[in-house]
């Protein structure tokens, strides 16, 4: 049935053309934006996922900057610790030279003082953007390292904790902790002596009668390269026999070192005194060092005085502890710097992986879009032609009335 009121063919052709135009418009948008999902209207679920991932990528860029800043800060501290270790090694060379009796110890002490001043300069200058990890102003520093997204959408951060190393020489106050007895060469807060193999003996006296101990004070004894230490507690300070408690604590610490042939006796009848006996086959060097509460690891540098024979002997063992402090600090910073570098590399690769994932979700396949565009353009032309033909149908009805 032919009708001039309802042109079914025209309506079908029109709807077909509209569909072609819609697909053509979508394909042109993909080509112009480069995305198959440019808005939530295109695909709400994929759009939401991609936006969350894009936000994470932005966050990881900030984390990468934080890691770079932290790595630079730790690198400065590591370089300072290595430089300080080198300077302490030079100090050791001066102390060794002072062991000879036919030298000018006064001039050697002047050289040591100059090296100590240089160490103080290095400690003070070892800062990056105002943050110094070696002067005792910090205890730990947290470097932002990652964003952790849970399955429920919760986001938390994680950090790399860097332990600061106090290599300052400040906060030292002499207390004359070590007495002179039993062959010990004492110099107030440092002491040292040699234990010959098989027959060597010596004593160290802990004496707090001149200046009482404070909580946090520490006494270290280095024997044959091994270190024993005891930190004075508030309970020790409150007791009337603090020096005895410190001596007993040191004896227990020395015993735990397990040095072959060495025995340490404590006699309560001789307050604060430890008696050393070397029945082993090796000579042992014993050195003792006092460290104030809250003082830097190198505070006892201020107590080094090689102007006398006793001072030179005591300093020889103590400088080893100080050098080890510098080595330990450099190793700690080196390990931390390596970890930050690894994390920074990982964050960079993770960001790249996220970008690839986002691209696979929302980026358009331009090869496919190009082929589709040409096909749709041909369909559009055919649709227009088809609609034109359908629109001519009512004209044909006029022929029936002629």
Cα distances (Å, whole numbers) of residue 362 to 151, 351, 366: 22, 17, 12
329-367 confidence digits (pLDDT tens):
999 999 999 999 999 999 999 888 988 888 888 877 778
β-bridge pairing 273-278 and 200-205: antiparallel
Q: What is the CATH number of domain 185-294?
A: 3.30.70
Cα–Cα distance measured from residue 111 to residue 304, given in angstroms and rounded to the nearest whole number: 12
Q: Where in the chain is the domain with CATH 3.30.70?
A: 185-294
Cα angle 318, 319, 321 (rounded to 5 degrees) comes to 70
Which three-class secondary structure state does DSSP give residue 234?
helix
- Residue 79: CB atoms within 10 Å: 14
What mean pLDDT, rounded, does the chain reach?
83
233-260 confidence digits (pLDDT tens):
888 888 878 888 888 899 899 989 888 8
Cα–Cα distance measured from residue 52 to residue 58, given in angstroms and rounded to the nearest whole number: 10
Cα–Cα distance measured from residue 332 to residue 329, given in angstroms and rounded to the nearest whole number: 5
**Predicted TM-score of the model (pTM):** 0.69
Residue identified by tokens 């994932």 is: 357
> In which band, very low, low, confident or very high, does the pLDDT at 121 lie, cut at 50, 70 and 90?
very high
Cα–Cα distance measured from residue 340 to residue 162, given in angstroms and rounded to the nearest whole number: 10
The answer regarding whether domain 47-169+331-355 maps to CATH 1.20.1330.10 reads yes
DSSP state string for 104-132? -HHHHHHHHHHHHHHHHHHHHH-EETTEE
Which pLDDT score is estimated for 182? 45
φ/ψ of 209, rounded to 5, equals -70, -30
292-306 confidence digits (pLDDT tens):
776 677 877 877 888
- Residue 117: CB atoms within 10 Å: 10
Q: Where in the chain is the domain with CATH 1.20.1330.10?
A: 47-169+331-355
Cα distances (Å, whole numbers) of residue 187 to 86, 177, 250, 289, 300: 25, 9, 19, 10, 12
User: Once rounded to an integer, what is the mean pLDDT over residues 21-34?
Assistant: 80
Cα–Cα distance measured from residue 294 to residue 171, given in angstroms and rounded to the nearest whole number: 7
Higher pLDDT, 10 or 142: 142
């Amino acid at each position: 049935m032919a009708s001039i009121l309802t042109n079914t063919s025209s309506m079908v052709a029109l709807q077909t053309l509209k569909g072609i135009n819609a697909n053509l418009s979508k394909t042109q948008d993909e080509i112009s934006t480069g995305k198959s999902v440019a808005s939530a209207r295109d695909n709400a679920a994929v759009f939401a996922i991609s936006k969350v991932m894009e936000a994470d990528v932005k966050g990881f860029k900030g984390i990468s900057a934080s890691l770079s800043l932290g790595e630079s800060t730790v690198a400065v501290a590591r370089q300072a610790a290595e430089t300080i270790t080198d300077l302490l090694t030079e100090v050791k060379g001066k102390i060794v030279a002072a062991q000879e009796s036919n030298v000018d110890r006064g001039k050697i002490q002047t050289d040591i003082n100059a090296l100590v001043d240089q160490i103080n300069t290095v400690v003070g200058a070892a800062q990056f953007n105002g943050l110094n990890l070696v002067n005792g102003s910090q205890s730990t520093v947290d470097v932002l390292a990652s964003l952790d997204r849970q399955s429920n959408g919760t986001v938390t951060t994680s950090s790399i904790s860097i332990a600061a190393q106090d290599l300052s020489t400040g906060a030292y106050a002499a207390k004359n902790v070590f007495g002179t007895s039993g062959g010990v060469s004492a110099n107030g807060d440092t002491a040292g002596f040699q234990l010959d193999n098989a027959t060597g003996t010596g004593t160290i006296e802990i004496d707090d009668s001149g200046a009482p101990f404070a909580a946090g004070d520490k006494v270290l004894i280095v024997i044959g390269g091994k270190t024993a230490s005891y930190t004075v507690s508030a309970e020790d300070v409150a007791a009337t026999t603090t020096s005895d408690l410190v001596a007993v604590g040191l004896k227990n610490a020395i015993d735990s070192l397990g040095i072959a042939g060495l025995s340490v006796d404590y006699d309560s009848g001789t307050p604060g005194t430890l008696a050393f006996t070397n029945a082993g086959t090796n000579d042992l060097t014993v050195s003792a060092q006092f460290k104030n509460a809250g003082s830097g690891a190198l505070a006892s540098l201020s107590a080094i005085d090689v102007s006398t024979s006793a001072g030179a002997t005591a300093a020889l063992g103590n400088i080893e502890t100080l050098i080890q402090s510098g080595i330990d600090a450099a190793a700690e910073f080196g390990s931390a710097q390596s970890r930050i570098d690894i994390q920074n590399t990982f964050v960079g690769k993770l960001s790249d992986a996220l970008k690839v994932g986002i691209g696979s979700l929302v980026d358009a396949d331009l090869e496919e879009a190009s082929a589709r565009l040409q096909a749709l353009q041909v369909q559009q032309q055919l649709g227009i032609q088809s609609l034109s033909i359908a629109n001519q149908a009512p004209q044909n009805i006029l022929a029936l009335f002629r």
